Structure 1
Amino acid sequence: MLFAAGFFSDCKVNYSFTGADIPADAKTFSVETFTVIAPLADPTYGLTITEELKELILGQSRLDLVVSEGDLQFEGSVTGYNVAPAAIAADEFAEINRLTITIKVSYVNTFEEEKNFDRTFSRFADFPTTQDLQDVEAALIEEINFQLTQDIFDASLGSW
């Protein structure tokens, strides 16, 4: 009986109710501020998406945030920020415009190197051409950021 207790005490199992697959020994994560290289993006957008990713990981994991060199590390750049027609009407004019944001992310898992990646994530939101981008941009960015941060979380820490 003591042998069994000793045997099982060395087993490390990680349970999560959020679907996170985090190495048992990982305690910290870090997110470098995303750089903005997309010419049309607001220069502060990198900070916005960085903070939202931090909040998501803090809320859906047991990890503590550190300034740099966490057990799990994220960095990236905003490579695309574009508006283009998404639906053309019979009169050949756009009825719907689409804001698309593209982010390149590097993820390092210091415990499970096979999970490291460099990936591009892209999401979009549509809006009617009767509205100016400036009037709806904040809401569109909020919608896109929710999707992008969840995609990054799922790709790096998700076990679904």
Structure 2
Amino acid sequence: MTVVVAIIAMVITACSVSYKFNGASIDYNKTKTIQIADFPIRSSYVWGPMASIFNNQLKDQYANHTRLIQVKRNGDLKVEGEITQYSQRNKAVTAQGESAQVELSMTVNVRFTNNANHSEDFERQFTATTTYDSRQSLNSVQEECVTQMVKDITDQIFNATVANW
């Protein structure tokens, strides 16, 4: 009987950390707010809507998968950085020596600060790539490709910052 009471007591005290199916593990007793800065584009090659797609998706990721309150300054967590690279290159060549596939790549530099635990602070780059058939124009596939890469990068950032992966 005392073993059962001890187990129940441990379970109750362990409930202060929230574990979700999305991988977030946040101690909401210590961490209540997050400050997410808009990421400017610092890449030499630019597609206009890319920054707003990225910034909105990053903020939505935390809003939809955590209980953190987004603030403009003095957040318990702080995520900032810039889009440093957006490029395309030929990935595959046909037997005739023509391009068959084009690889599109995006890299984002992130600075993360955890004001409750500075040992978790980091600066790191996150990259995503996608390919498309070279018979298609970049203009016809760009929105879909960028949206896919942004989803991948924001998942990586989310996992690195609040999932402790």
Q: Is there any run of 5+ residues in structure 1 with no aligned partner, and where?
A: none
Q: Deviations over 1:63-104 (max 9, x none)?
A: 011112211100111110001011112222110001100100
Tell me how far apart the structure 1 counterparts of residues 162 and 58 of structure 2 sit (CA, whole Å): 12
Tell me how far apart the structure 1 counterparts of residues 16 and 38 of structure 2 sit (CA, whole Å): 32
Moved more, 102-111 or 64-73: 64-73
The answer to whether structure 1 residue 96 and structure 2 residue 101 are counterparts is: yes
- Compute the displacement of 1:45 (Å): 2.4
Tell me how far apart the structure 1 counterparts of residues 84 and 164 of structure 2 sit (CA, whole Å): 27
Report matched runs for 1:1-160 at 5 Å. 13-17=16-20, 18-24=22-28, 25-160=30-165
- Compute the displacement of 1:47 (Å): 2.9
Tell me how far apart the structure 1 counterparts of residues 56 and 35 of structure 2 sit (CA, whole Å): 11
- Asked if the contact 1:23–1:112 (Cα under 8 Å) also holds between the matched residues in 2, the reply is no
- The SS at the match of 2:35 is strand
- The SS at the match of 1:140 is helix
Q: Is there any run of 5+ residues in structure 2 with no aligned partner, and where?
A: 1-5
- AA of the residue aligned to 1:136: V
Tell me how far apart the structure 2 counterparts of residues 43 and 119 of structure 1 sit (CA, whole Å): 24
Which segments of structure 1 move beyond 2 Å, counting only runs of 4 or more? 7-13, 42-48
Aligned match of 2:3: none
- Asked if the contact 1:97–1:129 (Cα under 8 Å) also holds between the matched residues in 2, the reply is yes
The TM-score normalised by the length of structure 2 is 0.86
- AA of the residue aligned to 1:93: E
Q: Deviations over 1:96-115 (max 9, x none)?
A: 00110010000001111111
In angstroms, what is the RMSD of aligned CA positions? 2.1
- Asked if the contact 1:124–1:144 (Cα under 8 Å) also holds between the matched residues in 2, the reply is yes
- Compute the displacement of 1:15 (Å): 2.1
- The SS at the match of 1:30 is strand
Aligned length: 156
Q: Deviations over 1:49-69 (max 9, x none)?
A: 111111001111110111122
Moved more, 41-50 or 94-103: 41-50
